[in-house]
Amino acid sequence: MILIRSALFLVWFVTISVVMYVLALPSLVLPRGCVMFLARIWARVILFGLKWIAGLGYEVRGREYLPTSSALVASKHYSTWETIALFLLLPDPAIVLKRELMRIPLYGWYARKMQMISVDRTGGSRALRTMHRTATRALAQNRQIVIFPEGTRRRPGDAPAYKPGVAGLYAQLGVPCVPVVHNSGLFWLRRGFVKKPGTIVVEFLPPIPPGLSRNAFSAQLQDRIETAVNRLIGAA
C-alpha cells in the first residue's frame, strides 16, 4: 500500500508541477511578488497531496522563533520536503541553491525570478563572495536567507558534515541565525520515491544572535542542530 500511495503522490507532484509551471509562465514578466504568491500556492497544493494521498503530514514547533524580518535560517537537509515546507512557512525566503538547479528549464526560470541565491560549489572564494553579495541584496528586501549548512541532503544518522559557507554568511550579514531541525528523512527518503505515512516534525530553535566569532558560531550551530535533530529522530 505504501508503494501505491507513493506512486500516486509522485503522479500528483509531477502533474501539479508541470501544469502550474506552464500556466504561470506569464507571471515571469510580473513583479517578483506575483511569482512568490503562485509558488506558495504550488507548495500548499503539493503538501496537501502529500497528506491526503501518501498520509504524510507535518507539525510545526517553535513558531515563536519564526523570523518575521531579515534573518539567516540554517536548516538540516534530509529531503526535498524541507525546501517546500520552509518556502511555505517563512514570510519571504531566499533559498541558497546549487547553481545547476538554476539551469533546469521552467524551474530555474522561476527560481531566478524569485531571486533565489545560486552558488557554484566548485567556485571557491569567488563563489562565496558572489553568494554574500546576493544575500546582502536579499536582506535589504527584508527577506530570510535559507541555507543548508551541510550543502547537500544527508541521511538520518550520518555524521555531521558542516561546510564553512554558513559561518561566512553569518559573519558577513550581521543578522540572527535561526536553526531549524526536522525528521523528514525518516518519511521522505533521500533516494527513491517512497513516502512513509506519519507526521514530520519541524522545529524552529532559538536564534543565535549576531556578533560571535566564526568558530564560536559554527560550534554552537552544529551543537544546537545535532542535539535537537537527534532528539526528534530518537522520539520518532
Taking the model in full, what pTM does it have?
Answer: 0.93
Distance (Å, rounded) from C-alpha 143 to C-alpha 86? 13
Going by pLDDT thresholds of 50, 70 and 90, the confidence category of residue 206 is very high
- The answer to whether residue 15 sits within a structural domain is no
- The answer to whether residue 126 sits within a structural domain is yes
- The answer to whether residue 74 sits within a structural domain is yes
SS3 1: coil
Name the residue range of residue 202's domain.
56-235
3-state percent breakdown (helix, strand, coil) of the chain, nearest 5:
55, 15, 30
188 secondary structure, DSSP code:
B
DSSP H helices in 26-117: 32-54, 81-89, 107-113
Sequence letter at residue 97: L
Span 210-236, pLDDT tens digits: 999 999 999 999 999 999 999 998 876
Distance (Å, rounded) from C-alpha 169 to C-alpha 127? 12
Span 3-20, pLDDT tens digits: 999 999 999 999 999 999
207 secondary structure, DSSP code:
P
Say if residues 160 and 55 touch (Cβ distance below 8 Å): no
CATH number, domain of 121, equals: 3.40.1130.10
- The answer to whether residue 42 sits within a structural domain is no
Span 139-189, pLDDT tens digits: 999 999 999 999 888 888 889 999 988 998 999 999 999 999 999 999 998
Say if residues 187 and 200 touch (Cβ distance below 8 Å): yes
Examine the pLDDT at 122 and tell me if it is beyond 70: no
Dihedral class, residue 36 (left if φ above 0, else alpha if ψ from -120 to 50, else beta): alpha
- The answer to whether residue 134 sits within a structural domain is yes
Beta strand extents in the chain (DSSP E only) = 56-61, 71-75, 93-98, 117-119, 144-147, 177-182, 198-204
- The answer to whether residue 62 sits within a structural domain is yes
Say if residues 131 and 97 touch (Cβ distance below 8 Å): no
Q: How many residues does the chain have?
A: 236
- The answer to whether residue 89 sits within a structural domain is yes
Q: How many domains does the chain have?
A: 1
Span 90-114, pLDDT tens digits: 999 999 988 888 888 889 999 999 9
Q: Which helix (H) or strand (E) holds 143?
A: none
Span 176-202, pLDDT tens digits: 999 999 999 999 987 778 999 999 999
Distance (Å, rounded) from C-alpha 145 to C-alpha 139? 7
- The answer to whether residue 4 sits within a structural domain is no
Percent of the chain with pLDDT over 70: 97
